[in-house]
Amino acid sequence: RVHGDTFSTMSQKVCASHIILKHTGSRNPVCRRTGVTITRTRDEAVAQLLQIKAHITPQNFAQMAQQYSECSSFRNGGDLGFFGPGEMDGNFEKGTYALKVGEISGVVESSSGAHLIFRTG
């Protein structure tokens, strides 16, 4: 609250980490962890993320991101830092803002691939 005005949650910056699995339909289908061109289908990426989701917790998210994520943020445990409205893909942004701090999303699809999102702030 600032002077009695309430800002919508969409006007505030959030902080999140993610695990992304890219697929052949991704905007840039290259794994940033290995440098290998991605050959899996969208359905294969979603299925693999669902397997990861079954084992992920807030406590092991960073470790799992380092092991599986195909974004350069894998080096930082998937941490994307703070971002505000319009700074991320629309679906990714909506998926992040829909979470409470400490929650991990289901599969969220964006132009970059399929994600699990962990809202950290």
62-75 tens-digit pLDDT = 999 999 999 999 99
pLDDT at 59: 98
User: Helix or strand or coil: residue 1?
Assistant: coil
22-64 tens-digit pLDDT = 999 999 999 999 999 999 999 999 999 999 999 999 999 999 9
pLDDT at 2: 36
The sign of the CA dihedral 86, 88, 82, 94 is positive
Looking at the chain, which runs of residues are DSSP E strands?
Answer: 14-21, 79-83, 108-110, 113-119
Whether the Cβ atoms of residue 80 and residue 96 lie closer than 8 Å to each other: no
The pTM of the full predicted model, rounded to 2 decimals, is 0.89
